[in-house]
């Protein structure tokens, strides 16, 4: 496990925060940053097991990003500046 646990949470969600009040954009940006880091590891790591694990976790990050995109408070225009900042941070990095 690099970032994400592959096993679903066993205990039920208690719901202390209302779903509609969650900041979908903030959570999406977090998972997008994780995705870019995992993509970097997948492409550049010399360790085969680490590359394989990063590839599995990239799927988790994408799934979570898609989940937040369906949230009523999500707005792609709000996350664009942060997305471009993350992209510029990771583009051209070498191991």
Residue 11 lies inside a defined structural domain of this protein: no
Residue 32 lies inside a defined structural domain of this protein: yes
How many domains does the chain divide into?
1
Phi-psi region of 15 (alpha: psi -120 to 50; beta: other; left: phi over 0): left
Report the Cα 7 to chain-centroid distance in Å.
16
At residue 62, the pLDDT reads 96
Residue 60 lies inside a defined structural domain of this protein: yes
- Global pTM reads 0.86
At residue 9, the pLDDT reads 67
At residue 13, the pLDDT reads 62
At residue 57, the pLDDT reads 95
- Mean pLDDT per block of 10 residues along the chain (95 residues) reads 77 74 94 96 94 95 95 95 95 74
């Amino acid at each position: 496990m690099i970032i994400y646990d592959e096993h679903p949470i066993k205990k039920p969600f208690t719901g202390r925060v209302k779903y509609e009040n969650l900041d979908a954009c903030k959570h999406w940006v977090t998972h997008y940053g994780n995705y870019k880091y995992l993509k970097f590891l997948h492409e550049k790591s010399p360790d085969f097991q680490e590359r394989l694990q990063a590839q599995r976790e990239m799927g988790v990050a994408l799934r979570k990003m898609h989940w937040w995109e369906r949230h009523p408070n999500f707005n792609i225009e709000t996350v664009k500046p942060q997305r471009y900042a993350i992209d510029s941070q990771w583009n051209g990095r070498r191991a």
